[in-house]
A and B are shown apart, each in its own frame.
Chain A
Amino acid sequence: MPHLSSIEKAGIPSVFIIFEDQDECWKQACRLNGIPDMRRIWGSRHVPGPEDVESWIDKLLDALVRPLTDEEKNPPEWDFSNPRYIFEGTLQEAQDFFKQAEHIPQLYNNASICKYTDGLPVVQPTEELVERMLSGTSHKPDEIIVYHADHRAGDRIEQMGSSGKKGEPVYFMPMRRKATVEKIATIGVMAGCEPKHMPLLLAIAEAGGGCGDGRGGDMFVVSGPYAKEIDMNFDTNVLGPGNQSNRAIGRAAELMWRNLGGNIPNVTNCGVWGAGLFNCIPENDDALPPGWASLREEYDFGKDESCVYNLRIHHSRTLQRTEFMPGGYREFQKSGHGGIGRRLGVKGIPGPHNWMEYFVDSLWKNWEGGKTFLMLPEMARDLQLYGFKTKDEVYEWLYNKSFMTVREYRTHQRPDVTTNAWKGIEATSGKPWKELDEDYMVPAVGDPFENCIIVTGGGEEVGLWTDGRSARSDPAYSIDAWR
């Protein structure tokens, strides 16, 4: 949208083909980019192409010549500020205030969406509680959340206006608002956090809160001694309820998306499924196999420093599990017995074996790119004993495993877009896609570092994985800078 709006601003009239159900998101995106609703017509999701085009092709060209309306010529200013509210009343009135919801006509069923919360009751952010929360940081209440170091926040985030440069403000998407330290403290109170959580809440805010590019659902991982300081759970049930730090901080990130980002489904946010409430989770430092770097070390922080890593599993993406039963896994490692051993050709041979071999071919069947593994300590240890002396060796192995023929790659859907409809250049050969032999091998992963391992959790041998990271982004934010 920033690019498309810049064309119109440069004096070139334009018209777009979109879908009716995304019209409100279109209008919001136009306003966010400082321009009235750019002209568009609606294609159909169901009518066959030629028939569909015939129904609107004249309107399409008319949009380029039909004179501008007064509003298109002199658009009113749009107020998307997020002022500081002081509410006075009884506790019951405050609870009623925070329970407010509004019906959203852009949702097919006109469902109600809470104005300030995730749908659950919140702790009332009284001035006393907010002041107490502010005692958890040395930063002043009216300080604007800015980047404390240079970051590559990611292409989409940068397209939306956040520079990632040290000293510049962080924008909360989708409404592109700024925030103060006080607002983060207020949200922390609402979510059920404590003053000791403030440095982490502020670091999460520096990462853009739980907003991502506006579609939300980001998950955060703490790496470093701070996790123990605030008594995070990094053992069994790390993703489940019960630990105040894990859950309340994850909730605070989501409330930042609602209250700072201004997320309203189908209005300001064109996401599809949403994402469930994910805990903020800690890395299990104690269980890292010898030679394996912590997340913070992967991003050049010191061992004694603490950072929060923004694991971007936004939008419809979620966690998937490794494809075996825990007992079968144990037999495979202990004796080579069972189906995993048979598939890998190690029947009867005691481990350690590389358990990733069992399902690695399925990782890129329907979506390319690196993968992030939430890896139980025991399974990480097995990989290390098998022979992966560093995480980087695992990342490299996964990268090498991702190669497939051009013939197979062409049967994937997303490359239709990422190769610019096969008109672009293939990275490893430097040749146009269309000139490559069908048997030429191409990687489904752009860079080994797109893969990521987070050692955490405990219990029976089930691994989880989700989308990987961008090797070009830098989503690890200092917690210590916000103490």
Chain B
Amino acid sequence: MHPLAPRLDTLEGKNITMSVGAGGEQGILIPLVKMLPERFPQVNWNISYAAAHMTKEGSVALSEEEMKTTDALIRGVVW
């Protein structure tokens, strides 16, 4: 078993990706995307969209490029 990743020491100045699960649960995810920068302006927010499983258009919450620049991930899981 692999341990969880170490947590952030602070939110200040961190690059956090909010990966919106495309398709369902937009009632949650649309206000969340709006509220995150308002509530946590000290974070550099990256909002991306990725479909849930079974999509034909890709279901990657973080691309390889985003993995290099992202400090933390929030993923809205939808089905």
The answer to whether A and B interact is yes
Residues of B within 8 A of A72 (CB): 3-4
Does A35 contact B4, Cβ atoms closer than 8 Å? Answer: yes
CB–CB B74/A421 < 8 A: no
Interface string of A338-350 (1 = CB under 8 A from B): 0000000000000
Q: Is the CB of A77 within 8 A of B31?
A: no
The reply to whether the CB of A86 lies closer than 8 angstroms to some CB of chain B is no
Nearest CB in chain A to that of B25: its residue:
A43
Please classify the interface of chain A as helix (H, G, I), strand (E, B), loop, or mixed, using the class held by over half of its residues: mixed
Q: Which single member of A7, A13, A78, A446 contacts B8 (CB below 8 Å)?
A: A13
From the candidates A48, A65, A156, A424, name the one contacting B53 in the complex (CB within 8 A). Answer: A156
A68 touches B51 (CB 8 A): no
Please state if A12 and B4 are interface contacts (CB–CB under 8 Å).
Answer: no
State which of A8, A159, A421, A423 has its C-beta within 8 Å of the C-beta of B5.
Answer: A8
Query: Considering only CB atoms and an 8 Å cut-off, how many residues of chain A contact the other chain?
Result: 59
B50 and A10 form a contact (CB under 8 A) = no
Is there an interface contact between A77 and B5, defined as CB atoms closer than 8 Å?
no
Q: A421 to B1, Cβ gap below 8 A?
A: no
Question: Which residues in B have their C-beta under 8 angstroms from that of A57?
Answer: 32, 35-36, 39
CB distance from A50 to the nearest CB of B (A): 4
Chain B binder among A15-23, A165-173, A219-227, A275-283: A15-23
> How many B residues are at the interface, by size bracket?
35 or more
Q: Are A421 and B73 in contact (CB under 8 A)?
A: no
Interface string of B51-76 (1 = CB under 8 A from A): 11111111111100001001111111
Shortest C-beta distance, B71 to chain A (Å), equals 7
> CA A5 – CA B62 in complex, angstroms?
12
Interface residues of A in 1-59 (CB under 8 A from B): 3-5, 7-18, 31, 34-36, 38-40, 43, 48-50, 52-54, 57-58
State the Cβ distance, B40 to closest chain A Cβ, in Å.
6
Contact residues in B for A34 (Cβ distance below 8 Å): 1-2
Verify if A425 is at the interface (C-beta below 8 Å from B).
yes
* A155 with B54, Cβ < 8 A, contacts A8-B5, A17-B75, A49-B31 known: yes
Partner of A64, one of B8, B27, B35, B54: B8
What residues of A have a CB within 8 angstroms of the CB of B61 in the complex?
3-4, 7
**B56 touching A418, Cβ below 8 Å:** yes
When the two chains form their complex, are residues A10 and B1 in contact, meaning their CB atoms are under 8 A apart?
no
Chain B contacts for A290, CB-based, 8 A: none
Chain B residues within CB distance 8 Å of chain A: 1-11, 16, 20, 22-32, 35-36, 39-40, 49-62, 67, 70-78
| 10 A-B pairs whose Cβ atoms sit less than 8 Å apart in the complex | A7-B62, A8-B4, A13-B73, A14-B74, A16-B74, A49-B27, A49-B32, A77-B1, A419-B51, A419-B57
What residues of chain A have their CB less than 8 Å away from a CB belonging to chain B? 3-5, 7-18, 31, 34-36, 38-40, 43, 48-50, 52-54, 57-58, 60-61, 64-68, 72-78, 155-156, 159, 416-421, 423-425, 427, 446
